């Protein structure tokens, strides 16, 4: 997350930062606000549909941090509005996704990854 701060989250234009799932500054349930830029506000959006409405109503791009490499698939239109500008792992690692014998989870499910997406209305 430090690289994320260095390049993007220090800009005032990214405030507030939106999330669909969890606070990116809580690691394993522990707050790590030392790395959080002063004055940065994190706002939760309760559904992908609400996020699309928020994007369409915004006069400037909004920024979404998500704990996966891709956006939720329940609203296909979301991928047309948002594109990744930073990811903790490159997108091509998804091609290496495999399950170990007897497990339902992949190795990507067991590690912490983040994506920062810029979302603009069409």
Peptide bond into 16 cis (omega under 30): yes
**H helices, E strands: number in the chain:** 3, 7
Highest mean pLDDT, choosing among 35-39, 50-54, 76-80: 50-54
Tokens representing 80? 């047309």
pLDDT in tens, 67-119: 877 787 777 778 889 988 888 887 777 777 666 666 676 767 777 788 889 99
- CA dist 89 and 94 (Å) reads 9
| Residue, of 55 and 71, whose pLDDT is higher | 55
The string of DSSP letters for 58-91 reads -SS-EEEEESSSS--TT-TTHHHHEEEEEESS-G
Mean pLDDT lowest for which of 39-53, 57-71, 97-111? 97-111
What confidence score (pLDDT) does residue 6 get? 52
pLDDT in tens, 8-18: 545 556 778 89
Tell me the pTM: 0.77
CB atoms within 10 A of CB 48: 17
Tell me if 119 sits within 8 A of 62, measured CB to CB.
yes
């Amino acid at each position: 997350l430090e690289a994320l701060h260095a390049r993007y989250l220090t800009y005032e234009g990214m405030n507030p930062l939106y999330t669909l799932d969890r606070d990116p500054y809580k690691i394993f349930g522990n707050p790590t606000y030392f790395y959080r830029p002063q004055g940065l506000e994190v706002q939760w959006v309760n559904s992908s549909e609400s996020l699309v409405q928020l994007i369409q109503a915004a006069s400037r791009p909004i920024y979404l941090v998500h704990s996966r490499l891709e956006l939720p698939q329940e609203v296909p239109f979301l991928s047309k509005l948002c594109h990744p500008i930073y990811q903790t792992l490159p997108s091509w690692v998804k091609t290496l996704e495999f399950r170990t014998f007897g497990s339902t989870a992949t190795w990507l499910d067991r590690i912490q990854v983040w994506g920062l997406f810029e979302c603009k209305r069409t």
